Amino acid sequence: MNVKELLDREVALRNSYEEVCEEKLDPIIVARKYNSDVIALICSLFAYGNVKQIVKFLDSLDFSLLQKSEQEIEEGLKKHYYRFQTNADVIALFIALKRLEEHTTLEDVFVRGYKNNYSVIEGINAIIEKLYELYPYSSRGYTFLVGKITTKTKGTGALKRWMMWLRWMVRSDEIDLGLWSRVDKAHLIMPLDTHTFNVSRKLGLLKRKTYDLHAAIELTETLKGFDNEDPLKYDFALYRLGQEKIV
């Protein structure tokens, strides 16, 4: 069995709603409960660390606060913190997203940046810029959470949590939510984490030894050789192969 056959088999096996459940946790299990790109973004941005702790934290959040006053957000989240993020960081994200939704939508902001060069990186940059503009706030934890404007690909973060959110938004199958319609799934970039990085190197899909955005792009280009229109259909399968130590 060659690598493409292995991955195609895994995609068929994993493309099931039951693949994400209490026994096989993933942050998307919380995002599934809401038909909202905003809530899904919060779920993805906090998706680092132990998956049980991620889901526990996300389940503790009252997402209805996004429709309430800023004072109510501050009161409702004053005891919420997660790893590098203080309660002030969590509050800042909620308020920034609330303000954004009062004037526009995440998809509109993203598409304005994306359409410049049909670059998802430029779309992400547009959202990051807008969030800082709407709620000028800075801390180490908040910068880690939201990120910075990305102008290079080598030696920089892989934007894994942002790329995962885009996969959720753009792709539509038994795993992904497919809430957006104006972004081509062929333009998505792999949400590269340590599992997919290591598995992809073992399988010969990725030659780059440095874990960065350039590696994510290289892996995406390799997977386009398997499916040019939907390279990220292999993402969840690669992740599970690594997480379950199959490869």
pLDDT digits (tens, 9 = 90+) for 165-209: 999 999 999 999 999 999 999 999 999 998 899 999 999 999 999
Q: How many angstroms separate the CA atoms of 21 and 203, rounded? A: 27
pLDDT at 246 over 90: no
The predicted structure's pLDDT at residue 224: 98
Amino acid identity, residue 11? V
The predicted structure's pLDDT at residue 245: 86
Q: What is the mean pLDDT of the chain?
A: 96
pLDDT at 223 over 90: yes
Q: How many angstroms separate the CA atoms of 163 and 122, rounded? A: 12
Q: What mean pLDDT do residues 48-61 have? A: 97
pLDDT at 1 over 80: no
Contact 109, 100 (CB under 8 A): yes
* Chain-centroid distance, C-alpha 114: 16
The predicted structure's pLDDT at residue 220: 98
Q: What mean pLDDT do residues 137-162 have? A: 97
pLDDT tens string 71-85: 999 999 999 999 999
pTM: 0.97
The predicted structure's pLDDT at residue 242: 87
pLDDT at 140 over 80: yes
The predicted structure's pLDDT at residue 25: 94
pLDDT tens string 88-108: 999 999 999 999 999 999 999
Q: At what angle do helices 160-170 and 120-134 cross, to 10 degrees?
A: 110
pLDDT at 141 over 80: yes
Q: What is the dihedral of CA 41, 45, 50, 53, to 10 degrees?
A: -60
Confidence band for 155, pLDDT divided at 50, 70 and 90: very high
